[in-house]
A = this chain, B = another copy of it.
Amino acid sequence: MRGNVIVGQSGGPTAVINASVAGVYAAAKRAGVNKVYGMVYGIQGFLEDKVLDLDEYLADEAGMELLKRTPSAFLGSCRYKLPDVWSNEEQFEKVFEVMEKYDISCMFYIGGNDSMDTVKMLSDYAKQKGKNQCFIGIPKTIDNDLPITDHCPGYGSAAKYIATSLKEIIRDNAVYGDYRTAILLVEIMGRHAGWLTAAAALAKDDSCEGVDAIYLPERDFNLDEFLRKVKELAERKKSIVIAVSEGVRLGNGRFVCELDGAGSEKTDVFGHKQLSGCGAFLAGLIQEKTGYKARAVEFSTLQRAASHIASLTDIEEAFRAGEAAVEAALEEKTGMMVTLLRGEGDSYRCLTGLYDIHAIANQERKVPTEWITEDGCGVTKEYEVYARPLIQGELFPIYENGIPKHLVRKV
């Protein structure tokens, strides 16, 4: 490959988004690329010429090992969408100008649906203008909602965090046994797709009875049916743990987290519209309508940031996705996203592929209807067969001062 390459990170971080940077770096260096640059704060920083040389951090193995264990986006991220090319061609030209300045022949962009749109626009623009730089997307999202790819790097680690924490919480909740009814709502991320909430099913094994119900946003949520389910559960057991997606909605399309007690729009004590807390709302509803005490826990930021319990499978696949992007560039591909493919057969194997970015950008994949149980309160065995391999293995943190050590950017 002629010239240098650059890698950027975009959108919400995952526990393993940095492993893909490591994979890009390793493969590019192996291929003899001179400089592997990182864009600081994604395409938004790149437009302002914020670029660093990854040799400064990753030239030694210790840096690579730390990077794989570092949460959040090492390079910084952005939520910046490029404007319409017809109305603002200067921004596009600016991207190519900075690429030329650093003699960059290929840009690797790690992100979700929106970020793949950036890859699409830039590769389309290059083709149209006869520019020969290439643009390759690398998938990442805890939400697991990208189409085409079997799963997304980042999902396995979030799922491992959710399953592990739920297993601990289920145990905690049952500590008073028959002496106390304890109903706990656990609110899990995923506004439109229920992949993360489905991971609650993975808490169940020989040493854990699992959660008592799982509510995904793929199904309409019915408050009466929910209360019936809670009452039915409370008649036969004392410790009840229910996983619920932040994105559950009523049949009329309204988010449950938007509701107040009278079914109107919920505001906080200052009158601001609130779009969080469906777990807290449902706990209040249970108390109001059944008299049982209920409380709520939200995993919140923790589910995307907990590198200390990342899945080794996920780290390795994120790394491999970075490598595969470089291999695609070596073959002069552009406008493609790396995909993860599941090998045939009973034992789990993961391969990589490439797919036209136009089929991926701005698309969203949900949990298949047939993986949701008929009563709408759980997921089927097929989901577990799909997801269990993704949470296997651990890469233990490097501890210093009693806490995990991370790699830090100097700029």
Residue ranges of A at the interface with B (Cβ–Cβ < 8 Å): 12-13, 40-41, 44-45, 70-73, 76-80, 160, 163-165, 167-169, 171-177, 179-180, 184, 202-203, 205-208, 259-262, 266, 268-272, 276-277, 280-281, 284-285, 287-288, 295, 297-298, 300-302, 304-309, 311, 388, 391-394, 396, 399-408
Contact = CB atoms under 8 A, between A and B. Distances in A.
B404 A167 contact: yes
A302 B305 contact: no
Given A168-B307, A172-B71, A208 B406 contact: yes
B288 A160 contact: no
Contacts of A408: 206-207
B402 A177 contact: no
A13 B179 CA distance: 16
7 contacts: A165-B302, A165-B306, A205-B405, A261-B268, A270-B284, A297-B298, A394-B396
Q: Copy number in this complex?
A: 2
Given A302-B302, A401-B388, A404-B164, A171 B78 contact: no
B270 A167 contact: no
A305 B169 contact: yes
Contacts of A176: 41, 76-79
B272 A269 contact: no
Contact of A76 (B168, B175, B308): B175
B285 A270 contact: yes
Contacts of A405: 205-207
A170 to B, nearest CB: 9
Nearest to A178: B41
Nearest to A184: B301
A45 to B, nearest CB: 7
A172 B305 contact: yes
A83 B207 CA distance: 36
Most buried by B among A12, A305, A408: A305
A72 B168 contact: yes
Contacts of A184: 301
A307 B44 CA distance: 40
A284 B172 CA distance: 30
A156 to B, nearest CB: 9
A403 B79 contact: no
